[in-house]
Amino acid sequence: DVKVTQSSRYLVKRTGEKVFLECVQDMDHENMFWYRQDPGLGLRLIYFSYDVKMKEKGDIPEGYSVSREKKERFSLILESASTNQTSMYLCASSLGQFPVRGYTFGSGTRLTVV
């Protein structure tokens, strides 16, 4: 089975810190995505990437950046963390745009910014 691993399940960071959230997939998927999940808002797309060194803005990219230096790893960066970035962050990957077995998700990182 494809596995998507997010490096931390829980993180607590201080306002103004630079925060790195890491996501690694082990099945050579070209597409990778970062979402944040907030109650009542569903999953909102932050950034996605369809190849190494390629990145595209999602619907809420402000305050975030990403890095994809290797195919298997997609990093989300909060340059200067703020309290409104407290959220659950989910990473996903896929082979192609219409995978009949769905996109594969990591288990999530719950980030608290204090």
Partner 1 sequence: AQKITQTQPGMFVQEKEAVTLDCTYDTSDQSYGLFWYKQPSSGEMIFLIYQGSYDEQNATEGRYSLNFQKARKSANLVISASQLGDSAMYFCAMSSSNTGKLIFGQGTTLQVKP
Between 69 and 100, CB nearer to partner 1: 100
Interface with partner 1 in residues 14-53 (CB under 8 A): 31, 33, 35, 40-45, 48, 50
CB of 11 to partner 1, least distance (A): 15
Looking at residue 85, the DSSP 8-state letter turns out to be G
CB of 27 to partner 1, least distance (A): 14
Provide the total of helices (H) and of strands (E) in the chain, helices listed first. Answer: 0, 11
CB of 75 to partner 1, least distance (A): 19
Which stretch of DSSP H or E encloses residue 27?
Answer: none
Q: Measuring CA to CA, how many Å separate 66 from each of 46, 99, 102? A: 9, 24, 23
The Cα 101–Cα 73 span in angstroms is 21
List contacts with partner 1 (CB under 8 A). 31, 33, 35, 40-45, 48, 50, 56, 58-59, 88, 90, 92, 94, 97-105, 107-108
